[in-house]
Chain A
Amino acid sequence: MTLTYLKKHTAYARIAMAQGRRERAELYGRVVFFAVILGVFSSLWRAVGEAGLPASGDPRALVWYLAATEWIMLSAPQIHLEIQEAIRRGDVVYRLGHPASYVMAEFAAGLGATALRMPFLGLTAFGCAFAFTRWTPPLSAIALFIPFAVLAAALLVALYLWIGLLAFWLQDVSPVFWVTQKLMFVFGGLMLPLAMYPSAMQKAAAFTPFPVMLFAPASIVLGTGLVRPVILARDLALWGGVMALVVQWTYRRAAAGLTVNGG
């Protein structure tokens, strides 16, 4: 990878950040939504804790866990919609003709938008979690969690990129995105740590990339030692590699499809 190649694709990240700054309303909307769901769930977990239900855990820890998973989820822009629109309108023909990697350009643009959102949503996550619980996990755990959250968000961007590439075949990729979100909910431990799930479900989840994106990094923030950072780093690298291969393969198939089926 040369410096020129890097500069070229960093430019896509920069312009996506600039575009994100122009679309402030969406960011503010996410911030408000985030604060509301944290408020709702902190009340819910408190009520569950007070009722002494078996799946309660520490209600404060659960709020911080949710803040962590949602931070990752909400930071990743829905680039699949932009890719789908570009394919529908035909604007993609320009991108395909540029002397740059189409996949890397889209990925870099997704990362750029993520980089803009993460600080705002991070402040909302930690600020609201503290405001609703009057408690913080160990600061060292938070510090360790942040880089993993960034990597997990990048993996999520790659997943959305893959969904976007399916628009070369599908009229509408929303159903695929919808199914992915549900899988994220079930296998990623979006609302509750996977450790609280039945063991069969935990075993099934281990074969998917979703725990690495949400459950594992969010568990680090709680500082329980349930997830070892080295193992998480390895798993992120592994799933990152798998995702890179899948995305490249899908793009090649899409490009081949264009040349065979027209478009």
Chain B
Amino acid sequence: MQPAVDLYELSKSFRVRRPRSGGIGARLSNFIAPDVEAVPAVDRLSFSIAPGERVAFIGPNGAGKSTTLKLLAGILQPDAGEVRVMGLVPSRQRTELAFAIGTVFGQRSQLWYQLPPRDTFELLGRVYEIDARAHARRMEALTAVFGLGGLMSTPVRHLSLGERMRCEIAASLLHSPRMLFLDEPTIGLDVSAKAAIRELLLTESTREGITLLLTSHDTGDMESVCDRVIVIHRGRLLWDDSIAALRKSFLSAKRVTFWSEAEHLDVTLPGVKVVSSAAHRTELEIESGATPLGQVVDAALRQSSITDMVIEDAPLDEVIRALYAKAERRCAT
């Protein structure tokens, strides 16, 4: 089966001016013949995404995520390497590709601000050459799924951010793309709006078999929507596997919280440390492989009866932070 996205040794660098410091001479030189440095944004990046996959594409700020998305959408041209999206070469077949992909940029908008979303949907219908009947059918379906009924006639400027984002995603799905690129689709949304967007992305991509490539700094987006995570750092591939595998590889500890009859628990075992302690509540961190979890629970039970207990993996945020830190250390050496 042809991959939805196929990158091989993709590279892209930008020219950045480095102004010389000094007097008028230096300023004049900066104007006439500025010092220019090539800064790599994407550096020999290779990965492949199968049709229907939902992939989180993450990395610290400046890692090259947005540049990669723009390369995939054909907005930017690569310096080297090969890229195919839905079998098309984005830099050469941008218009054909536009019909096959949808894009959502969380901090940008394609809705006409003074007008109700309905007008933008009509415009997009024309732009994507959708015939009137198919457009009406598609609008009906999207209105039902995204709950747009009451929003369609409200000027965009009166919509909340969550409502606007629902409209933005629906607008990107209007032409039934087979691939959707999402750049921080939940940024700035409140908890319930985030949950609604994640749910919509998950159900719609499953129902229509849409391949998703999602960038986000919110680990909740990745965990709720994606099965696989690609991590880049300074334009290079750092990790490409399932989220579970990422946790497993970088998880160095588990957190156990006990609620006990005794006011305090004193569990002294190798690799076990108290993270926080309050009356009848003790939170411990247990290093992987140091002491089996069962022994820790036994030790706690020997001291007091336990009224409740929670065992958690470290938050995904911490896992990713550890991954970035490791990459930084590698770069520094």
Which of A22, A23, A98, A262 contacts B67, CB < 8 Å? A262
Contact indicator B76/A259 (Cβ below 8 Å): yes
A7 at the interface (CB under 8 A from B): yes
Query: A177-221: contact bitstring with B at CB < 8 Å (1 yes, 0 no)?
Result: 000000000000000000000000000000000000000000000
Question: Does B56 reach chain A (CB closer than 8 Å)?
Answer: no
A242 at the interface (CB under 8 A from B): no
- Chain A residues lying within 8 Å of B105, measured Cβ to Cβ, are 90, 93-94
Which residue of A22, A260, A262 contacts B114 across the interface (Cβ within 8 Å)? A22
Contact across chains for A100 and B67 when beta carbons are under 8 A apart: no
Query: At the interface, yes or no: B331 with Cβ under 8 Å from chain A?
Result: no
Q: How far is the CA of A182 from the CA of B108 in the complex (A)?
A: 35
* Of B14, B120, B128, the contact of A262 (CB 8 Å cutoff): B14
- Known A12-B123, A22-B155, A98-B98; contact A93-B14, beta-carbon cutoff 8 A: no
Complex Cα distance, B101 from A207, in Å, reads 46
Interface presence of B230 (CB below 8 A): no
Residues of chain B in range 103-153 having any CB-CB distance to chain A below 8 Å:
103, 105, 107-110, 112, 114-115, 119-120, 122-123, 126-129
Interface of A is mostly: helix
Residue contact A258 to B75, C-beta cutoff 8 Å: yes
- A8: contacting residue among B74, B96, B126, CB under 8 A: B126
Contact (Cβ within 8 A) A93 B75 = yes
With A and B bound together, what is the CA distance between A97 and B96 in angstroms?
11
Q: A11, B108: Cβ atoms under 8 Å?
A: no
Considering only CB atoms, which chain A residue lies closest to B66 in the complex?
A93
Check B115–A22 contact: CB distance below 8 A: yes
| Chain B: minimal CB distance from A22 (Å) | 4
Measured in the bound complex, the distance between the Cα atoms of B175 and A8 in whole Å is 14
A-B contact pairs, 14 of them (CB 8 A): A4-B129, A7-B126, A15-B112, A15-B119, A18-B119, A19-B114, A91-B110, A94-B109, A95-B110, A97-B73, A97-B98, A99-B96, A260-B14, A261-B16
- Given contacts A97-B73, A97-B74, A261-B15, could you give 16 more A-B pairs where the C-beta distance is less than 8 Å? A11-B122, A15-B119, A15-B120, A19-B115, A89-B109, A93-B70, A95-B110, A98-B98, A99-B95, A99-B96, A99-B127, A99-B129, A100-B127, A260-B15, A262-B16, A262-B67
Contacts of A176 in B (CB 8 A): none
Q: Interface of A with B (CB < 8 Å)?
A: 4, 7-8, 10-12, 14-15, 18-19, 22-23, 89-91, 93-100, 258-262
B69 CB → nearest A CB, Å? 9
Q: Which residue of B lies closest to A262 (CB)?
A: B14
**Which residues of chain B come closer than 8 Å to A94, judged between CB atoms?**
103, 105, 108-110
Task: List chain B residues, Cβ under 8 A from A91.
Answer: 108-110
Asked if A23 contacts B129 (CB within 8 A), the reply is no
Q: Classify chain B: how many residues form its interface, as a range.
A: 20 to 34
Residues in chain A near residue B107, CB distance under 8 A: 90
CB of B99 closer than 8 Å to a CB of A? yes
Kindly provide the distance from the CB of B121 to the nearest chain A CB, expressed in whole angstroms.
Answer: 11
Docked Cα-Cα span, A98 to B107, in Å, equals 18
Q: How far is it, in angstroms, between the C-alpha of A262 and the C-alpha of B14 when the chains are bound?
A: 6
Measured CA separation A97–B105 after assembly (Å): 12
Asked whether B242 is an interface residue with its Cβ less than 8 Å from the other chain, the reply is no
Considering the chains assembled together, what is the distance between the CA atoms of A67 and B204 in angstroms? 56
Min CB–CB distance A87 → chain B (angstroms): 11
Cα A11 to Cα B107 with chains together (Å): 25
A172 CB to closest chain B CB, in angstroms?
18
Query: Bound complex: CA of A127 vs CA of B117, how far in Å?
Result: 37
